[in-house]
Structure 1
Amino acid sequence: MNIKYEIIPSEKVGSCRDLCNELMIFQKSKAKIKPELFDNMNFETRMIPSMKGAIYNYIVVVKDDDKPVGYVYSNISPKETYSNDFATFFDLSSVSRNNVGCLSQFYIKEEYREQGIGSILFNMSMKWLKQFDHVEDYFIFVSNGNDDALEFYKRKGFAFSHEILDGFITVLRDK
């Protein structure tokens, strides 16, 4: 294996398309609550709107040689972005500043898991998110059934905040 981490500009986000779509399929396969909600979720309906609603975007693609094998997408967004037709992701009054940081999407192909890649991506994202002095609230949203991800984030210092959509998503928070 020849693992490389590449920070990509927003204009090259298309290189994450297949990985993002794999993430949606993976999340649906794990879901115990409303898996059908994933039927309309893909790169065009999740990644692109999230990026457009954000103030700053951060994307890291992991490659084995030139083959993309994982990615992480984080953003800084106005807190109001997280109250929309789909759901209200947190109590907006619990966030004192105007913007929040979010580790929004995180996926590693199965054969590359448990090799430290996830920790490197997580640390890169947190370092990027914490550079913004005007942000003090950080969120991660974990789809139901993805217990491995939930435990990973808890080991990294995030704590359970609440659930939304009748348990479809678990909200983790680090303040």
Structure 2
Amino acid sequence: MNLKYEVLPDDKIKICKDLCNELMVFQKSKAYLKPELFDNMNYETRLVPSVNKAIHNYTVVVKDDDQIVAYVYSNISPKETYDNEFATFFDMSTVSKDNVACLSQFYIKEDYRQYGIGSKLFNKSMEWIKRFDDIEDYFIYVSNGNNDALEFYKRKGFSVSHDILDGFITVLRNKKQ
């Protein structure tokens, strides 16, 4: 393996399209509640709108030679972004600042799991998020059935806050330390 980590500018996120679509298929395959909700989720409906609505974006891809094998996307967004037609992701009154941080998408191709790539991408995202002095609340949303991801984030210091959409998504939360 010849792994390289590369931070992408927003105008280059299209190279994540295939992996983002693969993430949605993976999440659907794990889901035991409402898997059909993933039918309309893809790069155009998830990643592009999130990047466009955010104040700041941070995308890191991992390449093995020229093949993209993993990515993480995090953002800083107005808290109101997470109260939309799909769901209300958290109680707005529990967030004192105007903006929140979200580790929004995270995917590693199966053959590349268990090599520490996930921890490295997670750490890069958290280092980026912590640069913002005006952010106190960090969120991660895990789809039902993805217990490996849920346990990974708990080991990294996040706590389960609540479920939304009748358990379709588990909300994890952490506060700035």
Cα distance in structure 1, aligned partners of 2:54 and 2:92? 16
Greater than 2 Å deviation, 4+ residue runs: none
- 2:122 corresponds to which residue? 122
Cα distance in structure 1, aligned partners of 2:53 and 2:130? 19
Q: Deviations over 1:23-48 (max 9, x none)?
A: 00000000000000000000000000
1:44-63 correspondence runs (5 A): 44-63=44-63
1:91-110 correspondence runs (5 A): 91-110=91-110
Deviation of 1:154 after TM superposition, in Å, equals 0.2
Task: Using the aligned pairs only, state the percent identity.
Answer: 74
Q: Deviations over 1:69-102 (max 9, x none)?
A: 0000000000000000000000000000000000
| Structure 2 length-normalised TM | 0.99
- 1:64 corresponds to which residue? 64
- Which consecutive unaligned segments of at least 5 residues does structure 2 have? none
- Which consecutive unaligned segments of at least 5 residues does structure 1 have? none
Cα distance in structure 1, aligned partners of 2:122 and 2:83? 25
Query: What amino acid maps onto 1:136 in structure 2?
Result: E
Tell me the number of residue pairs that the alignment of Structure 1 and Structure 2 aligns.
175
- Residue 136 of structure 2 aligns to a residue in which SS? strand
| Structure 1 length-normalised TM | 1.00
Deviation of 1:21 after TM superposition, in Å, equals 0.2
- 1:140 corresponds to which residue? 140
Q: Deviations over 1:111-133 (max 9, x none)?
A: 00011000000000000001000
Cα distance in structure 1, aligned partners of 2:80 and 2:145? 27
